[in-house]
């Protein structure tokens, strides 16, 4: 059975989407009580746009902000219930069974405001999901707490460090994706940040989101039976060769995203990236890589996948391609460069 779980006013709804073969471990629940997506209604019935005169897609994933120049890594979902002052009252629910990886209960510490990250070890690969701008996080949830699908984990809000989200634009920022490294602090220490890293391995820099709406839609249409099906169907944007002896913890966390079967020494890696820098596959390079070779070399690039102006992975000078700062950052994080 393929269900989308919904919970409204404390009551569970099981919206049976399709009958069919889905992995028994792979069930999705909508993270808010809004039944609109499950009922097949349009974006405007659940996406929070960035302002009254903005396109509804400004609440979607992708190059949707600042005329396409600014990336938005998740979905902004608006509340279905408010108090008389306009304050959101929606509960926030876990999208899948999982484990609490991180809780930030101090709004001023992050642009995400109060946020919680779950990881979903039963999935292939074990995605994370992230719930941000919360009003509050359910008491007693802490790192290692086990969570069941559709369990309440917090309340919707408008918390954020820098930019103040007006009460009337209270929403859930919902993200799902992959985590690049277990050693985020090492990378952070090398960068000229003026404040300390307060979020361990769960800073936004270390998380790469995929498109949750595309993911939920494919789940609903029964075209994926596990997240790996979704990831394998993404187009390859760029293939990069990285010269390093380092074995990234990324492949231990996500073994299905590598062709590496044994942890023997390697001379480097070829990495395929999907849209906006989702790592799709890491392959060890057995052959020697010449001393003269650059540390990061673009092997292949598909310009059709980089038409939008934000989160670009390559730049071109003459006939040669170079990594953008964004791609450089992803590779530094994955390989500890």
Per CB under 5 A, residues contacting Zn ion are 76, 173
Smallest gap from residue 72 Cβ to Zn ion (A): 6
* Residue closer to Zn ion (CB basis): 173 or 312: 173
Q: How far is the C-alpha of 41 from the C-alpha of 71, rounded, in Å?
A: 25
Number of Cβ within a 10 Å radius of residue 329? 17
Q: How far apart are the C-alpha atoms of 307 and 124, rounded to whole Å?
A: 30
Residue closest to 133 by CA, chosen among 151, 148, 154: 154
Closest distance between Zn ion and the C-beta of residue 153, in Å?
A: 17
The residue number with the shortest CB distance to Zn ion is 173
Residue among 32 and 181 whose Cβ is closer to Zn ion: 32
Reference 323, options 210, 236, 240, 250; nearest CA is: 240
Separation between Cα atoms, residue 50 and residue 282, nearest integer Å: 36
CA distance 97 to 257: 22
Given the DSSP bridges, would you call strands 2-8 and 28-29 parallel, antiparallel or unpaired? Answer: parallel
CB nearer Zn ion, residue 37 or residue 187: 37
Spatial CA neighbour of 71 closest among 178, 185, 189, 207: 207
Give least dist CB 74 to Zn ion, A: 5
Closest contact distance (angstroms) between CB of 238 and Zn ion is 25
Residue (49 or 173) nearer to Zn ion, CB? 173
Question: In whole angstroms, how close is the CB of 119 to Zn ion at the nearest point?
Answer: 20
Q: CB of residue 229 vs Zn ion: minimum separation in angstroms?
A: 26
Residue 264 has phi, psi (to 5 degrees) of -85, 165
Q: Which is nearer to Zn ion, 173 or 220 (CB)?
A: 173
Q: Which residues of 131-168 are buried (b: 16+ CB within 10 A; e: fewer)?
A: bbbbbebbeebeeebebebbbebbbbbbbbeeeebeee
Give the residue with the Cβ less far from Zn ion, 175 or 332. 175
């Amino acid at each position: 059975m393929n269900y989308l779980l919904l919970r409204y006013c404390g009551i569970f709804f099981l919206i049976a989407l399709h009958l069919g073969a889905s992995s028994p471990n792979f069930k999705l629940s909508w993270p808010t009580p809004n039944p609109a997506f499950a009922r097949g209604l349009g974006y405007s019935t659940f996406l929070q746009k960035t302002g009254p005169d903005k396109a509804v897609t400004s609440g979607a994933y992708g190059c949707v902000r600042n005329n396409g120049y600014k990336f938005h890594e998740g979905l902004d979902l608006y509340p279905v219930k408010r108090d008389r002052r306009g304050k959101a009252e929606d509960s926030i629910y876990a999208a899948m069974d999982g484990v609490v990886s991180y809780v930030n209960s101090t709004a001023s510490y992050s642009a995400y405001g109060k946020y919680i990250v779950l990881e979903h070890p039963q999935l292939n690969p074990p995605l994370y999901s992230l719930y941000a701008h919360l009003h509050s996080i359910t008491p007693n949830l802490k790192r290692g707490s086990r969570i069941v699908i559709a369990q309440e984990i917090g309340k919707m809000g408008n918390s954020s460090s820098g930019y103040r989200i007006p009460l009337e634009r209270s929403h859930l920022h919902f993200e799902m994706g992959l985590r690049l490294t277990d050693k985020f602090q090492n990378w952070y220490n090398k960068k000229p940040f003026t404040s300390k890293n307060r979020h361990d391995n769960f800073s936004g820099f270390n998380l790469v989101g995929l498109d949750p709406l595309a993911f939920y839609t494919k789940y609903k249409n029964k075209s994926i039976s596990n997240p790996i099906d979704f990831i394998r169907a993404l187009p390859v944007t760029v293939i990069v060769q990285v010269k390093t002896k380092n074995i990234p913890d990324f492949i231990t966390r996500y073994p299905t995203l590598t062709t590496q079967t044994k942890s023997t020494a390697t001379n480097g890696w070829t990495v395929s990236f999907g849209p906006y820098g989702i790592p799709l596959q890491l392959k060890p390079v057995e052959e020697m890589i010449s001393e003269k070779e650059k540390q990061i070399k673009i092997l292949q690039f598909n310009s059709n996948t980089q038409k939008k102006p934000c989160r670009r992975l390559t730049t071109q000078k003459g006939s040669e391609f170079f990594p953008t700062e964004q791609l450089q950052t992803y590779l530094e994080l994955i390989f500890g460069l």
